[in-house]
Structure 1
Amino acid sequence: MIRKISTIKTNYSEEELIVLLRQKNEAGFHHLYDNYSGALYGVILRIVQSKEYTEEIIQDVFVKIWNSIHQYDALKGRFYTWMINIARNTAIDYLKSKSFQNQLKNQPLPDFVYENAELTTTNNSDFIGFNKVLESLESDKQELIDLAYYQGFTQSEISEKLNMPLGTVKTKMRNALLKLKDLLKDYQ
């Protein structure tokens, strides 16, 4: 039996991966999915709190990344952050969609209650090893990050929920993200 030796490169730098994706290269897409799907899945699951919906959304996220890769600008931020924002926004859009809201209304009550009770036990999982970093932040910064990135609140909604001026929320959120950025440098 003759075995083919694969000459396809299996590990790409971020810059190489972006070039491959812009060229619509399938190997680049496979590398993207293999290396980032777990982290993006975790982000989505924390927002929608349903494995079934997360599996639907993760497909949409990768299609959006594939179709909008030309919009990525390295000067504006890291590729991983850009992808997380796509995942987060897609999950939030899904939760706000009429079809999702109608699905919730049409579920029999016992199944819906049971499903949510089950999800709260898995909600404490740390999908991408991020909780340890978050615990290093002050509690007010943790709360803002949790509301915005894990619960899917907009800054306006956070302002209302915390009874805090919108400008203050924006400033505190920016400070929290800057502090988080500094903390993440230590974990690389």
Structure 2
Amino acid sequence: MKRSWMHVGGAVLVVVAIAAVVGVAVNSNKHTDNSTVLSQSTTKQTSISKPKQACLIFTIDDAKQVLGEGASGGETGASASSDDLEVSTCSYTQTAGAATSASTSKAASLLVRAPRTAEGVASNQTQFGRLKPAEVQDVTGYGEAAFWSQQYGQLNIFKSNTWYIVSFGPITPSSRTLDQTKQLADILINKM
């Protein structure tokens, strides 16, 4: 029974992550401007590099550091890739055990929106510029720009023209904290 809750929780996490990407991309009514930082990033990378796959960055060994030895999961098949962006997701959950229940279990995920074209770069930059939701909290120390969305329980990082979405904590996104999620971001940031 607990194992099925973990699979359901993992599936919910992936759906929420994809919905968040779509929601942030569509949310153009509430925004702030961060164009100075992002225009500097564009000049650093003049060509499109090979996109990074989420599970090559976020490995099972990384997951065990935050979820414990019982971590399970990996690459998620659902993708919202396009000609301009390659999207990949890697999610892990705690394996059901005596000390883990659906209400106390945790999940960790990384969603990567890697640009394939200049339009993909521009799309990622816009999410951290004029389309960035007004209700988010800016975070320093991660990439060229970063913000925390309490609503989705996600740390959004813009680094080398790629948009990374990191989440870690309780299965319910709004129950996660920035400090929890930073634990995972600190493990992954040098591989991004």
By the TM > 0.5 criterion, same fold? no
Which structure would you say has the larger RCO, counting Cα contacts within 8 Å and 6 or more residues apart? 2
Name the one with the larger strand percent. Answer: 2
For normalisation by structure 1, the TM-score amounts to: 0.27
Larger Rg: 1
For normalisation by structure 2, the TM-score amounts to: 0.27
